[in-house]
Amino acid sequence: MDMFRRVGLVSLLVLSTVLFAEAQPANVMPRYKNFLNQHVYGDMAESWCTSEIRSRKITDGNSNNCKDVNTFIRATKEQVKAVCGKATGDYTSGQPFSVVTCKLHSGERQPKCEYKKGEKSNRYIRIACDQGWPVHYDEGYIVVG
């Protein structure tokens, strides 16, 4: 019985170490969550721009103004996070991602923002990373793959 306790304890320590290594720094967490909310949706369809931007309460900065352009990366958060590795800085993906770009059609402030049907394309993405976590998407960087 004593051996089973030791094996269990060692397993628990290994699991704790793995989870701690992947833990998000507290100062990065809000920016990472905002990045995911604004830019990552694996099943995003071109026709969902208005409804998704409204439901996610995406606005231009800290205002209630409509965002002129918002791009959704059609991937999992793990696939996008892999672009960062464990580093800090700006990184461009090694392979193209499918993205849907939504452009404002009418309206100035939420909830009256109406978006055109999105444009789907494949492109390399450039993201800013902080300690291995994506925190900003450079929508203006466009290299088609």
Using DSSP's 3-state secondary structure scheme, residue 106 falls into strand
Q: What is the pLDDT of residues 29-54, one digit of tens each?
A: 999 999 999 999 999 999 999 999 99
* Tokens read off for 104: 């404002």
pLDDT (0 to 100) of residue 145: 63
**pTM of the full structure:** 0.82
Distance (Å, whole) CA 91 – CA 104? 27
**34 φ, ψ to 5°?**
-65, -45
Per-residue pLDDT band at 140 (split at 50, 70, 90): confident
Check: CATH 3.10.130.10 for 22-144?
Answer: yes
Q: C-alpha angle with apex 133: 20 to 23, nearest 5 degrees?
A: 10
**Which residues are designated catalytic?**
39, 136
**33 φ, ψ to 5°?**
-65, -40
Domain ranges of the chain: 22-144
Distance (Å, whole) CA 19 – CA 70? 32
